[in-house]
Structures are given as C-alpha cells and as structure tokens.
Amino acid sequence: MTDTLAQTDDALAPLDFAVTRNLAAKSPSERAQLLENPGFGTVFTDHMVDVCWSVKGGWHRPRVQPYGPISLDPAAAVLHYGQEIFEGIKAYRHADGGVYTFRPEQNAQRLQRSARRLALPELPTEYFLQSLRELIAVDGDWVPSGEDQTLYLRPFMFAKEAFLGVRPAQKVAYYLIASPAGSYFKGGIQPVKIWLSERYQRAAKGGTGAAKTGGNYAASLLPQAEAYENGCDQVVFLDADGNIEELGGMNILFVMKDGTIVTPASETILDGITRNSLLQLARDRGLAVEQRPVSLSEWREGVASGDITEVFACGTAAVITPIGALKAAGFEDAQPIGELALSLREELTDIQYGRREDKHGWLHRLDA
Ligand code: PLP
Ligand code: COI
C-alpha cells in the first residue's frame, strides 16, 4: 500500500502565496530555549498560512503571514454554529537535517471528508500539501531535533461569513499553524488510566463522529473532566449498542492471545491514520488484524480470562500509549501490559524519523 496523490488534483495550478515575514520573529537563542521542553500545544512558530474561500471566488488570497490573532466579525458563523474542521499531522527532523511528514495525503483526504460532512469546501490535496511546504519554508528551523520531538502541524478551516441564518457559509478560511511538541502526556510513555464514559456519548449513527470537527471535542470535555476527577488520563466512549468506540483523541486496539489485533469498526469514529499504519505494520509481521465491533463485555471478560493480552491507544499527537487500567463508576480493571504496543511504536517512529526503511512510501519531504 503506497500512498498516492488524489488523481483529480493533477491539473491544478499551484497557489501563489504572498509571504510577509514576521519582523518580531524569535531569535535563534529564544527559539532554542522554547524547543528545549515544548510540552504539547503551548508554543507556536513565527508564521501561519491562510487561504480564503468564497462561493464566488473559490480558493484565493493564499498568504504566509506572521503568527497572530485572527480578526473575525462577531457574527461569523463558526462562533455560533460551530462549522469548523481540523487536522493533526507532524513534521519530523531526520538525522540528515531534512524535514519530513507522514502520509499527508491521508490527512488531506480526511480533511476533504470532514469538509463534506460539515458542508465546507474541499481543499484540494495539492493545496493542502503546498500549505505544509510553505510554512516549513519559513519556519523550518522550528522543527526540533530532540528525541521524540516533532513540529505538530494543525490545519483548520472555519465558516467566517457574518450571517446568523443557519446554512453553509459562503465565506470560509483555511489556516495552518504549527507548534513544536514533545510528549502529549506529561508522564511520557507510561500506561494511562482510562475512564469509561457511561453517561455521555460522543457520536451517533449519521452524526459527525467520523469527521474531525471541533464539536466532537467540545462534547468530550465534560466526560474528560469526569475522567480527571476520577484519577484517569483519558475517556473511552461507547456507542448506543454498548460497543467500544474510541478515546477522546485516540483510537483503541486490543491484542488477543494469538497475536491478532482487534480494533472497533464503526461509522461513528475517526478513521485514524496512525491506526491504519499500525495495522499495516502488524500485517507485515504476519499478524492477523480484525476491524469489527468490540463490546464492553468482550473487553472485560477477555482481560479476566487472559484472551486479551494488551490494550493500547494511538493517534498522531500521542503516538501509541499502553492502557494500564479501565475505570468506571462501578469497577476498576487493571489491564495486562504486553510488548506489542511498544514494539509497534518503535517501528512506526523509526520510519517517521528516517531510522528504518520506508517500505510503503509513507514519508513526504517538506523542505526540498
Ligand atoms: N480519534 C480521535 C477522536 C482523534 O482526535 C484522533 C487524533 O487525530 C484519532 C482518533 C487518531 O487519528 P490519527 O491517527 O489520524 O491522528
Ligand atoms: C491528533 O492526534 O492529532 C489530534 O488531533 C488529537 C487531539 C486531541 C490533540
């Protein structure tokens, strides 16, 4: 499985970005200090990309400009009706100094699927890739080289038309910002404790669960707060039939006694690119992979009987995290810790950082 560009984008002329340099850009020593221990999502680079879209003009006014506040009309539709989508993707510094990203066409295509569901315009794959390259051209020095460090890229799109009627906006903005990142969880790669959300659901059939849209995350905040109150790091959601869906920001995978990897198949969850890549690496190792519904009782009974030997979560921001416990109002189950999650994590990150052969053609150079 080699990733290829969407065929339909071949004929597109590239966008002509107007670049305005940030005169207050951080000095190399200020930047080095910020890159020492960036944490997740708090430090931002000197520039951002934005492209406008309108019904009349299509995609226009592509810009690279200094990172800073966005001016919005208070009636902008996104502030009222949440018409917004985003992506999460990382840039990796390789030992030869090059800057690479991982399967960006997949993120471009998922942004297009999210756009369709949220009645937003589809950004062509070529424009998406170009926006990544344009930002790296000015902020490439922000891609850190420390162990497990990356530059987290956050493309997003929202309805900026000032109109209080409820209909798809006719004016939209696409932005790309970037944030140097270390580990997503404060504790690094420690097993996390997961809270089972029994009172709140994240998504429903026919809803927006498979789209990467802000509303899904807004809906996860209260159960996430409940998780923290109960000493847990993350929350896992069930669907209306009692099947496991996913975590607030990660997919979930189960390892069975015979090495088979099982992960929920559902139209209400995000089709994770990390998950798909791990399933491919598992198949390459000769392991069986099943995408099918997994009920809560299958999970609990499987752990109790030893049929499930490992449970882990994955996503771009958090990479792979073993699950050490599942807690709910009425029980707390310790989870078995195995070797597979960490060995897949090593294989995946070795590919991403250029330490291992990229057999599937997943890497995409951004700075050349
Ligand atoms: N599920 C949710 C709700 C997410 O926010 C994410 C993160 O992007 C994922 C799953 C994992 O997706 P990916 O591996 O593409 O980052
Ligand atoms: C990502 O992993 O890129 C995400 O968007 C998850 C988010 C909760 C940080």
CA-wise closest residue to 238 among 223, 226, 225: 223
Residue 233 confidence (pLDDT) above 90: yes
What pLDDT is attached to residue 83?
Answer: 98
The yes-or-no verdict on residue 368 having pLDDT over 90 is no
Q: Per-residue confidence at 185, pLDDT binned at 50, 70, 90?
A: confident
The residue whose CA is least distant from atom 2 of ligand 1 is 249
- Residue 275 C-beta-side C-alpha neighbours within 13 Å: 24
Provide the H-helix boundaries in 67-124. Answer: 77-81, 104-117
- Decide if pLDDT at 4 tops 60: no
Ligand 1 center from residue 215 Cα (angstroms): 14
pTM of the model: 0.96
* Mean residue pLDDT across the chain: 95
Task: Determine the average pLDDT of the residues in 49-75.
Answer: 98
Q: Looking at residues 345-363, what average pLDDT do you find?
A: 97
CB-based pocket (< 6 A), ligand 2: 88, 249, 315-317
Domain annotation for the chain: domains and CATH numbers: 18-181 (3.30.470.10), 192-350 (3.20.10.10)
- Looking at the chain, the whole-number percentage of residues with pLDDT higher than 90 is 94
Atom of ligand 2 nearest to the CA of 317: 2
Greatest CA separation for the chain: 62
Distance from the first to the final alpha carbon of the chain: 24
Q: Which atom of ligand 2 is nearest to the CA of 217?
A: 8
Instruction: Give the pLDDT band of residue 8 (cuts 50, 70, 90).
Output: low
Pocket test for ligand 1, best of 111, 251, 271, 362 (most atoms within 8 A of CB): 251
Q: Is the pLDDT of residue 358 over 50?
A: yes
Average pLDDT score over residue span 159-168: 98
For 240-270, the pLDDT digits (tens) are: 999 999 999 999 999 999 999 999 999 999 9
Predicted confidence band at 2 (pLDDT cuts at 50, 70, 90)? Answer: low
- Pocket of ligand 1, beta carbon within 6 A: 88, 246, 249-251, 270, 272-275, 315-316
| Residue identifier of the C-alpha nearest atom 3 of ligand 2 | 88
CB 48 within 8 A of CB 175: yes
Q: What are phi and psi of 193, to 5 degrees?
A: -100, 130
| pLDDT at residue number 183 | 81
Q: In this structure, are residues 179 and 151 in contact, taking their beta carbons and an 8 Å threshold?
A: yes
State in Å: Cα 249 to ligand 1 middle. 5
Residue 170 pLDDT greater than 80, yes or no:
yes
pLDDT of residue 289: 98
Is residue 154's pLDDT more than 90? yes
- Can you tell me the mean pLDDT for 75-104? 98
- Determine the pLDDT at residue 103: 98
Residue nearest atom 3 of ligand 1, based on CA coordinates: 249
- To the nearest whole percent, how much of the chain has pLDDT over 70? 96
pLDDT at 6 over 60: no
Helix or strand (DSSP H, E) at 345 = helix 340-352
Average pLDDT over residues 105-133: 98
The predicted model gives 286-303 an average pLDDT of 98
Read off the pLDDT band of 5 (50, 70, 90): very low
Report, in this order, helix, strand and coil percent for the chain, each rounded to 5: 25, 30, 45
Name the DSSP letter for residue 306: T
